[in-house]
């Protein structure tokens, strides 16, 4: 469902040039759960960003469900991404002025989804165990609860692919485990997931681990 072919990404020029991705090829089949590991600065977030279409590659190809997305113009990219790719960040990125259920509804509103958007958002909130918090704003929720709202928002319009960049980076062990259990359940139900993590314990839950080093995929531990 996803193919990254010989992707490179450079930032800056001359002295300031940084090669964040140096020829990365990665294939993800439908239903996979891939963990991306590697030292700080090796290009993990950059890889996730180019898959998600948040950043452009310098060369190579990104193919999502048979369609090249790296060559799309900005508008087509946004339209293609919407509903197909969802993102979960370390810093939840919820909108502070909206309640939990309104945050979850947002992708449905943006996509002009048919049906009862509020009801659908409530169903998903129930799935992440937060129906009783539906009317709370992010500032009234714990970190783990906010991340569960962010996950609910990510999956509400049934994306083909969920990208997560250290989604449990800020959490204590217990909360982190709740969030990971949730990703595992989503994957059991067929959701394709690519997750960046520093934690080998977390990576063990994934079906496949990819190690990056200096912008390249390496075999073994990458150490
Ligand atoms: N906008 C940018 N401009 C210039 N260089 C950048 C930019 N974004 C990232 N980089 C550089 O690209 C390299 C890869 O960064 P990236 O954020 O992908 O690393 P990472 O593996 O996610 O690291 P971490 O584990 O610390 O999050 C780093 O050397 C970083 O400094
Ligand atoms: Mg990163």
> Rounded to an integer, what distance in angstroms lies between the CA atom of residue 129 and that of residue 138?
15
Q: How far apart are CA 80 and CA 63, in angstroms?
A: 12
Cα-Cα-Cα-Cα torsion 105, 109, 154, 138, nearest 10 degrees, comes to -40
The ligand placed nearest to the CA atom of residue 42 is 1
Euclidean distance between CA atoms 170 and 80, whole angstroms: 31
Helices (H) then strands (E): counts for the chain = 7, 10
Query: Which atom of ligand 1 sits closest to the CA of residue 48?
Result: 18
Provide the mean pLDDT of the chain. 92
Q: Are strands 161-165 and 192-196 parallel, antiparallel or unpaired?
A: parallel
What is the DSSP pairing of strand 2-11 with strand 85-88? unpaired
> What was the pLDDT predicted at 39?
94
What tokens were used for 144? 């783990």
Give the pLDDT of residue 197: 92
For the CA atoms of 204, 2, 11, 39, the dihedral, rounded to the nearest 10 degrees, stands at 10
Structure letter (DSSP) for residue 206: S
Our answer on whether the CB atom of 37 is closer than 6 Å to any ligand 1 atom is no
CA angle 117, 98, 87 (to 5 degrees): 70
16 lines ligand 1 (CB under 6 A): no
Triad 81, 95, 69: Cα angle to 5°: 10
Please name the residue whose Cα sits nearest to atom 3 of ligand 1.
Answer: 11
Specify the ligand 1 atom closest to the Cα of 12: 4
Q: Is the CB of 215 under 6 A from ligand 1?
A: no
For residue 204, the model assigns a pLDDT of 86
On whether the CB atoms of residues 186 and 23 are closer than 8 A, the answer is: no
- Tens-digit pLDDT profile for residues 160-209: 899 999 998 878 888 888 888 889 999 999 999 999 998 888 888 898 99
pLDDT of residue 175: 85
- Dist CA 50 CA 54 (whole Å): 6
Closest CA relative to residue 11, chosen from 45, 51, 44, 56: 56
CA distance 41 to 50: 15
CA of 61 to the centre of ligand 1 (A): 20
Q: What is the pLDDT of residue 192?
A: 95
- What are the structural domain ranges in the chain? 94-157
Q: Is the CB of 45 under 6 A from ligand 1?
A: yes
Query: Is the predicted pLDDT of residue 86 greater than 60, yes or no?
Result: yes
- Residue 130, SS3 per DSSP: coil
Burial of 5: CB neighbours in 10 Å, binned 0-12, 13-18, 19+: middle
Indicate the pairing of strand 33-37 with strand 192-196. parallel
């Amino acid at each position: 469902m996803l193919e990254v072919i010989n992707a490179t990404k450079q930032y800056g020029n001359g002295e300031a040039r940084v090669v964040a991705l140096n020829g990365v090829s990665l294939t993800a089949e439908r239903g996979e759960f891939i963990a991306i590991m590697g030292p700080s600065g090796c290009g993990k977030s950059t890889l996730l960003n180019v898959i998600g279409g948040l950043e452009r590659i310098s060369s190579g190809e990104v193919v999502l469900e048979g369609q090249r997305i790296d060559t799309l113009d900005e508008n087509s990219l946004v339209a293609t991404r919407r509903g197909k790719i969802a993102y979960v960040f370390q810093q939840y990125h919820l909108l502070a002025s909206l309640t939990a259920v309104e945050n979850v509804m947002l992708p449905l509103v943006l996509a002009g989804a048919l049906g009862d958007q509020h009801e659908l958002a409530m169903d998903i909130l129930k799935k992440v165990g937060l129906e009783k918090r539906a009317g709370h704003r992010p500032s009234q929720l714990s970190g783990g609860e906010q991340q569960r709202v962010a996950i609910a928002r990510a999956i509400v319009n049934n994306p083909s692919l969920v990208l997560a960049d250290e989604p449990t980076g800020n959490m204590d062990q217990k909360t982190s485990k709740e969030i990971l259990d949730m990703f595992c359940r989503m994957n059991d139900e067929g959701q394709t997931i690519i997750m960046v993590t520093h934690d080998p314990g977390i990576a063990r839950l994934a079906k496949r681990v990819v190690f990056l080093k200096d912008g390249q995929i390496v075999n073994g531990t990458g150490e």
